[in-house]
Structure 1
Amino acid sequence: MTDADSAHHTADSAHHTADSASMKAESAKAAKKRRRREPPPDPEPLPGLVDAHTHLAACGGRDADSVRAILDHAERVGVGQVVTVADDMIDARWALDAAHCDDRAFAAVALHPTHAGELDDAARAELEQMAADPRVVAIGETGLDYYWPGKSESAAAPEVQKDAFAWHIDLAKRIGKPLMIHNREADHDLLDILAAEGSPDAVVMHCFSGDLTVARECIDRGYFLSFAGTVTFANAAELREAAHLVPDGQILVETDAPFLTPHPYRGQPNQSYCLPYSARLLADVRRTDEHAMAQTLGDNARRVYRLSLQ
Structure 2
Amino acid sequence: MGIQNREDKILNSLLESRADNEHVIDVPRDHTYTIITNILTFLIGIFIVLLIWQGFAVLYNDYIGNSLIPFTTPLEAFERLFELLSGGNMFGVTIYDHVFASLKRWTMGYVISAVIGILTGLILGYSTRLYPVGIIPVHILQMILGLAWIPIAMLMFGLGDESAIFIIAMTAMAPIIINVSSGIRKAPPVIMRVANMVGSSKFSIFSNILIPYASLDIINGLRIGLANAWRVLIAAEMVVGVAVGLGYSISQATYVIDYSSAFVCIMVICAIGLFVEKVVFVSIEKYIRRKIGLEEGV
Query: Under a length normalisation based on structure 2, what TM-score does the superposition of the two structures give?
Result: 0.30
Which has more helix, going by share of residues?
2
Query: Under a length normalisation based on structure 1, what TM-score does the superposition of the two structures give?
Result: 0.29
Which has more strand, going by share of residues?
1
